[in-house]
Amino acid sequence: MKLDVRVKPDFDEFEKVITGKKQPTRVHLVELGADEEVMRFVVENVLDRQWVPYSEQTRGQYIQQRVGFQAAMGYDFAGGIVGFEGLPQFKERRGADTAQLSRGQRHWVEEGGGIIKNWDDFERIDWDGIRADFRDLEEMRHLLPDGMRMVVGATIFEMILERFLGYEDLFILSVENPELVQAVFDRWGQKVLDFYEQAVQYPQVGAIFHADDLGFKTSTMMSPEFLRKTVFPWFRKYAAAAHGQGKTYWYHCCGHVLNVMEDLIEDVGIDAFHSFQDVILPISRFLEIYGDRVAALGGVDMDQLGRLPEEELRVYVRQILAECMPGRFALGSGNTVANYIPVENYLAMVDEAHRWQA
């Protein structure tokens, strides 16, 4: 499939749309991320370019092709690639990757417990040795085409839920040893804040796109009281870091979090909310309720994106556009462009965005 993408990156316009300062004249696209397998397929089979695997020697080429992919699809921003050095060895499971564009093996978090179960485990971690690695971001900022910016993101709740404490231990320790849980959040939360405060200093960084899944299908995983006491104070600091530099703070969150949406909008101060499941709240309904105060990003339900035949998906996407445009809205997957999504469906979604006319 060939795409007819005639737009040029214009992050300034994108920002005006999601902040409600301007009505969109076209459909802007947004993704938290796309799996490398999808990008590689598109680069090789749609853009007719050679894919260069990542290595220390090919760092610049690898990042350039990621930026090139996003510009060619019509995105106004590229995801800044930032990791953390000095992290301890975490637990994980491995299993066969059965996706259409398989990577061979998938890595899964160990849900039962993480690496911190008591104060001794906490003290054994070299917290001072953990720091953000800005090398790839430094490379990327010189490769952006005119009009494009970077967005950067990290996690606090998910990192602790999945890595440091584990699901079950977080739930148990939040009752049996809340002081330890608070200490872990304070330590890792500060690491994320340090990263954000440095990242937003870059002129090429346009926004923070923070990602933390707080919920599941019917509720938040932790009580609203826990989130207000332990998690949201850090969110406020991250939003303030962005706003202090005149930049926006977007928030990705999976699951049912409507019981804390007012906290996110009014207390934290998010500028845009991302990740939608139709079974929880379709994006058009979200805009009806909250669209005068916050932007809605994404909206194409992952189940629909993954399983609908292409022509039915196009009808579904056109319906979203009919209900959400023009508005404080950008189109994309309800989560990320995972490697189990049929590439033709991803391309159809992008194509419908570029075909839209007011």
Query: Could you report the per-residue pLDDT of 105-159, keeping only the tens digit for each?
Result: 777 777 789 999 999 999 999 999 999 999 999 999 999 999 999 999 999 999 9
- Of the pLDDT bands very low, low, confident and very high (cuts 50, 70, 90), residue 4 is confident
Rounded CA separation 143/7 (Å): 18
**Residues 171 and 225 occupy one common structural domain:** yes
Rounded CA separation 44/100 (Å): 16
Tell the burial category of 329 from Cβ atoms under 10 Å away from its Cβ (0-12, 13-18, 19+).
Answer: buried
- Of the pLDDT bands very low, low, confident and very high (cuts 50, 70, 90), residue 311 is very high
Residue 1 lies in a domain: yes
- Return the closest-CA partner of residue 209 out of 152, 156, 155, 136: 152
The total of other beta-carbon atoms located within 10 Å of residue 47's CB is: 17
Query: Could you report the per-residue pLDDT of 25-66, keeping only the tens digit for each?
Result: 999 999 999 999 999 999 999 999 999 998 989 999 999 999
Residue 178 lies in a domain: yes
% of residues, the chain, pLDDT over 70: 100
Residue 266 is predicted with a pLDDT of: 98
**Residues 94 and 180 occupy one common structural domain:** yes
Residue ending a domain, among 223, 243, 275, is 275
**Residues 70 and 90 occupy one common structural domain:** no
Rounded CA separation 324/283 (Å): 8
**At which residue do the structure tokens 């804040």 appear?**
193
**Residues 114 and 243 occupy one common structural domain:** yes
Residue 110 is predicted with a pLDDT of: 74
**Residues 25 and 94 occupy one common structural domain:** no
**Residues 305 and 198 occupy one common structural domain:** no
**Residues 65 and 212 occupy one common structural domain:** no
Task: Say yes or no to pLDDT of 3 above 90.
Answer: no
Q: Which H or E run contains 119?
A: helix 119-124
**Residues 24 and 71 occupy one common structural domain:** yes
- Of the pLDDT bands very low, low, confident and very high (cuts 50, 70, 90), residue 219 is very high
- Of the pLDDT bands very low, low, confident and very high (cuts 50, 70, 90), residue 100 is confident
Q: Which H or E run contains 77?
A: strand 77-79
**Residues 7 and 116 occupy one common structural domain:** no
**Residues 188 and 256 occupy one common structural domain:** yes
Sign of the C-alpha dihedral computed for residues 116, 251, 41 and 13 taken in this order: negative
Q: Which domain holds residue 206?
A: 86-146+148-275
**Residues 8 and 110 occupy one common structural domain:** no
Averaged pLDDT, 101-107: 79
**Residues 263 and 355 occupy one common structural domain:** no
Q: What angle do CA 241, 245, 246 make, to 5 degrees?
A: 115
Q: Which domain CATH number covers 102?
A: 3.20.20.210
What domain count does the chain have? 2
- Of the pLDDT bands very low, low, confident and very high (cuts 50, 70, 90), residue 74 is very high
Residue 82 is predicted with a pLDDT of: 81
DSSP 207-256: EEEEE---B-SSSBSS-HHHIIIIIHHHHHHHHHHHHHTT-EEEEE--S-
